[in-house]
Amino acid sequence: MTSLSVYVVLFIFLVASAVTWGAGVKLSTSTDELDRRLGLGDAIGGMVLLAIAGSLPELAVTISAAESGHLGLAAGNLIGGIATATMVLVVCDLFAPRPLTYLVGSLVPVLEGLLVVLVVSVVLMGALLPASTAIAGRVSPASLAIVVIWIAGVWVLNRTRSHPRWTVTMEGAQPGRPHRRVRHPVADAASATHSTWRVASVFGISSAVTLLAGVALEMSGNELANRAGINGVVFGATFLALATALPEISSGIEAVRLGDHQLAIGDVFGGNAFQLCLFLVADLVAARPVLPTTGGPNAWLAALGLALTVMYVGGVIVRPSRPRRLGPDSILAILIYVIGIVGLLQIAK
C-alpha cells in the first residue's frame, strides 16, 4: 500500500472497519443460532469454536501482522484490545436504565473478570521471559499456558453455571438470559424460521468476510501508522483495537436493549479472556515468541486492562444503584482509560 495516497489508505481502513462491523454482527447472530441448534456450547470444544468466531477480526489482524513481521502491532492489538473492549461497557451503560453493574444480578461475571485478570497476569510474566525460552524454538511457554488456563477457566465457568454452590439475592436486578443458548422470544424469532443450512451459510460467509476485512485493517492500519509516525503498539491499542471491537459494541448495545445485562458484561469479559490465547497463533506464524518483544508500552496496556476489569468486577459486587445512565464505575473507567492512554503516549516516545 506504499504506492497509494494517504486518503486512499484511510478510505480502505474505514471501509474495512464498516465491513468488520456488519459482518461481525451477522457472525454473532449466526453463531448464537448454531450454538442453540447444535448444542456447541455444552462442550469445551464448542466453546472454543464460539470464542474463535467472536474473535475473528483480532485473529485476522494477528495472523497478518505476525506474518509481515509487525509484532508490535499484533501485540498492541491483542493486549490493548483488552482495555478498549472493556470500555464497550461504558457505551452499554449509556443505554441501560440504571448502572449496568446494578442490573447484572449475578456473580458469574465476577468469575469471568477474574479469568481475565489471571490470563493478563500470565501475559505480563511471559513478557519477562527471555526470547530464548521457547518450546521448539518458536512458542513461548506463557502463550501455551494462557490457552490451558483459558480452557480450564471455561470448564470451571460451565460447572458453576450448571451446578452453582451458592445463591445470591440482588434486589432490583434484571440479569436477562443467563446464556445465548436460551432463545429470546422477540430478537430470535426471525432466525428461528431459517434452515440450519442457511444459518451455517451465513456463518461461513460472515467468517470469510470478517477475516478479509481484518487483513485489510492490519495492512492499511500499519501503513497509516507509519506515515503518521505513530508507534505500532499505540496504533494497535487504540484505532485498530477500536475497529476490531466494533462488533462487540453493536452486540453489547443490542444485549442491553433486550434486557440481557448479564450477557453484556459476560460477552466482554469472555472475549477479552480468549483474545490473549491468540498469542499462541502469533508465535506459530512469526516462528518465534512474540510476548518477549512486547516491551514497556504493552506492559502498561496490560496493567490498564487489569485496572478497568477490576473496576467493573468491583462494580458488580458493590452495585451502584443511583438512577443515572452512567454508573460511577463507568465514570471512573473513563478517567482511568484517559490517564492510561496519556501515559502510553509518554512511554512510547
Q: pLDDT tens-digit profile of 146-155?
A: 999 998 998 8
- The set of cell numbers assigned to 324 is 443515572
Q: pLDDT tens-digit profile of 218-275?
A: 788 878 877 777 767 777 777 778 887 877 787 788 788 888 888 888 888 888 888 8
- The set of cell numbers assigned to 24 is 461481525
The reported pLDDT for the residue numbered 113 is 93
Looking at the chain, the number of H-run helices and the number of E-run strands are: 17, 0
Lowest pLDDT segment from 58-67, 93-102, 166-175: 166-175
User: For helices 261-275 and 108-128, what crossing angle results, to 10°?
Assistant: 20
Give the integer Cα–Cα distance in Å for 119 and 145.
9
Give the residues across from 267 on adjacent strands: none
The reported pLDDT for the residue numbered 208 is 84
Q: pLDDT tens-digit profile of 315-330?
A: 999 887 776 678 889 9
Of 15, 279, 33, nearest to 143 (Cα)?
Answer: 279
More confident residue, 35 or 236: 236
Mean pLDDT (the chain, rounded): 82
Give the integer Cα–Cα distance in Å for 58 and 333.
23
Asked if residue 121 has pLDDT above 60, the reply is yes
- The set of cell numbers assigned to 299 is 506492559
User: Per the domain annotation, does 298 fall within a domain?
Assistant: yes
The reported pLDDT for the residue numbered 296 is 78
Q: pLDDT tens-digit profile of 151-187?
A: 899 888 888 877 878 877 788 778 777 666 666 555 5
Lowest pLDDT segment from 24-28, 163-167, 301-305: 24-28
Query: Which residues, including other chains, have CB under 8 Å from residue 273's CB and lie 6 or more apart?
Result: 112, 115, 116, 119, 150, 153
Asked if residue 215 has pLDDT above 70, the reply is yes
User: Per the domain annotation, does 165 fall within a domain?
Assistant: yes
User: Per the domain annotation, does 1 fall within a domain?
Assistant: no
User: Per the domain annotation, does 314 fall within a domain?
Assistant: yes
Confidence of residue 45 (pLDDT cuts 50, 70, 90): very low
Per residue, what are the HEC states of 286-334?
A: HCCCCHHHCHHHHHHHHHHHHHHHHHHHHHHHHCCCCCCCCCHHHHHHH
User: Per the domain annotation, does 147 fall within a domain?
Assistant: yes
User: Per the domain annotation, does 286 fall within a domain?
Assistant: yes
User: Per the domain annotation, does 151 fall within a domain?
Assistant: yes
User: What is the span of the domain harbouring residue 269?
Assistant: 6-347
Q: Tally the domains of the chain.
A: 1
> DSSP string of 103-160?
H---SHHHHHHHHHHHHHHHHHHHHHS-TT--BTTTB-HHHHHHHHHHHHHHHHHHHH
User: Per the domain annotation, does 70 fall within a domain?
Assistant: yes
The reported pLDDT for the residue numbered 260 is 82
Mean pLDDT of 209-214: 81
Asked if residue 94 has pLDDT above 50, the reply is yes
